[in-house]
A and B are shown apart, each in its own frame.
Chain A
Amino acid sequence: MKKLATILVTACVLTAGFSVTAAAADFPQRPVTIVVPWGAGGGSDIIARALAKPLEKELGKPVIITNKPGGSGTVGTSAVAHSRPDGYTVGLINNTGLIHQIHYGGLDYTKADLDPLALFLRVPVFLVVNSASPIKNLNDYVKAAKEKNGSMTLGVAAVGGGTHLPIELFFKAAGIKTQPMPSKSGGSGVITSLVGNHIDSAVLHPSEVYGQYKAGALRVLGVLDDKRLEAYPDVPTFKEQGYNVTGQVWRSFVVPKNTPKDVKDILVKALEKATKDATYLETLEKLGDLPTWMGPAEFAKYLDEDDAKLLAIIKDLDLYNKNTK
C-alpha cells in the first residue's frame, strides 16, 4: 500500500509540470520547435535553418526545425494552430497558409487560431517573358493580352498560389485576363516551359529567374514591389509603368492563439535580434529575399489589409471556397 502511494505521489509530481504553463520568466526551459510547412531544402526551410543558429543564441536553448509539408502549406499551419499554446511551437508561415488557403475552404483552422508574432521577409514577384517575345514592357503585355482575348498563357507555380494572386491584382487594374498554366514541379517547372517557349509569360521569384535572366534567355517586364531591387537595377516597378499595384509573398512567425503575452514578447524580441544576424542576412541576399520587420501589432493590421485585398481577387477568380462548394 505504501509502495502504491509512493508511486502515485511520484507520478503526480512528475506530471505536474505538463499541466502548468511555466512562468514566462523561465521561458524557454526546453528546445523550441519551428514548424516549416514546406519540404526540406525549399525557400522557407533554408531561411528557417539559417535563422536557427542566431535564434538559439538569443533564446539560450536549442531550436529544432520540423518540416511538415503538404496541402500548399496548410498541413503544417494546421499543426501549429492545434499545438499547445506555450511558445514552444512556432510556425514559419507565409501568406498562402494564413490567407489564400483559408478562403479556398476545407481547412480545420482559421486566421483567428493563430497569433501573429512578426512579418520578417518579403519575396518579390516578377512578370517574365521569353526574350524572343515581342513584348517589351507592361503596355505591350496588356495590348497583347487584349488581342489574345484571354488565351494568353501565364505560367504559375500553382493556381491561386503565392505568386499567382499578386499578379492578378495587376490584371484587374489593367482590365485583362490570362490563362494560368500551373506546374506540379512549381517554379522550376514554370521556368522550363518559359525558356522552352511552351507558354507566353510567367510569374516567378527573382531567385528562380536569376540564371536564365543573366544569360539573356528571359526578359523581366517588371517587379511587383515598391521599389527596384538592388540586384536588378534595370527592372522597373509596375508603379513606374503606370500600374499602381504591389504585392509579394511574405513569410512570418506565428504561434497558436492563447499563448501567454509575456512568452510572445520574449519570442518577438529574440526574433527581432536574430533577424539582424550577419550570416543570416548574407543567406537572404543570396536567395534574393528582402528582409523586413513588422512587430505583432503592425503585422496583425497588415494581415487584415492584405487579406481584404486578396479576398476580392479570390472572389473575382471564382476560387472562393472551391473546396467546400
Chain B
Amino acid sequence: MTPGGTPGAPGVVVVTGVGRYLGAHVAARLAADPRIERVIGVDPPEPGAEFTDLLDRVERIRVDAGSLGGLLADLEVDAVVHLALVSAPDQQHGGRSAMKEQNVIGTMQLLAACQRAPRLRKLVVRSSTAAYGASFRDPAVFTEETEPREVPRGGFARDILDIEAYVRGFRRRRPDVTATVLRFAPFIGSTADTTLTRYFSQPVVPTVFGRDPRLQFLHFDDALEVLHRSIVEDHPGTYNVAGPGVLSLSQAIRRAGRVAVPVLEPGLSGAAALARNLGFGRYGLDQVDLFVHGRVVDTSRLEREYGFTPRSTAAAFDDFIRAHHGGVVVSRDQLAAAERLVLDGIRQVRAAVRERS
C-alpha cells in the first residue's frame, strides 16, 4: 500500500490514451481525486496538444507502447486504465492498419508490461458493446454472458474481441490483479465529439432502408463516473455500461429534429467502403452493422455491483440535442405550429361549409 493511498484507492495510476478526449477527461478527474497520489498519462509520441489545459495536474510521458515494460515497474504503478483505443480508422493517421496496430498490438504490449509490474493491483480496460457482434439471430437484449454468434465484419468490433481475449489471458496469468472490462455503449453528451455525435449533427441523416435499430447511448459524464469508480473501488469482471432504456434510430433522428434518408443496405455498405477508401467520412462497417441490427444491453449487473445507474439513454440524448440545436431542420415548435395551422384550417373550412349550406 502506497503511503497516502486510502484502502481500495490506488496510489499511482497510469492512464493510457490521454491525448484523446476520454483519456484526458479521465486523467484529469483522477488527478482531482485526493485519494490518488500520482496520475501518469501515457501517450504515443505524436503531438496532441488540445487537452493540455485539462492535464496540468497529470504527469505526461510520451512513450511507445513497446517500451512501457520497464516503465510500469520503475514507476511502482498500482493501477492501469487502458483507454487508448481507436473506434474508427483515421485516414490522416494511417487508416485501418494504424488503428489495428494501436488497438490490438498496443493492448498486447500494455498487457505484457502489466504482467511484469509487481505492484500492479488493478487493471481497467475500455471495451465496447460491439463485442456482442451483430446477427439476425441475436437476442434482443445482451447480458454479459451472451457470446457473439458470428465474427463481426467491422474492424473495431473484431479488435474489441481480440482485446477481450487478451484480457482473459491476462486474468489467468495474474489472478492477483483485479481486472475490470467495461463494455461501453456509444458515448453521447453535450461536449463529446464521436462518430455518432457527428452523425446526428448532420441536418440530413442516412439510415438503412427498412431497418429501425434500437440504440442505447451512454452519457459521457456517466462513463467518467464509472471509470472513476472502477479505479477507486474493486469491481472485478465484465460490465455492460449503457443508459437504461432504448431509442429507436428513427425516434432519435426525429427528436434531434433531423431528417432521415433511408438508403438500401448494400448501397450503404458500398458507400461506407468508398468513403473510407477516398479518405473522407469515418463511418465503417461497424456503424452500418449498428444501424442494421441495433444493440441493447442489460445493465443490471452494473447497477447492482456499482450501486450506480447511468442517466437513461433518452436523457443522455436530450442533453446532446440541447447542445447541438444548431442544425435542427424540423423543430418541435414548428411541428406544434403546423398542427395548430392545419387544425384551424380544417375548422375554418368546416365553418365555411356549414355557413354556406
Do A and B originate from a single complex?
Answer: no
Chain A residues with a Cβ under 8 A of chain B: none
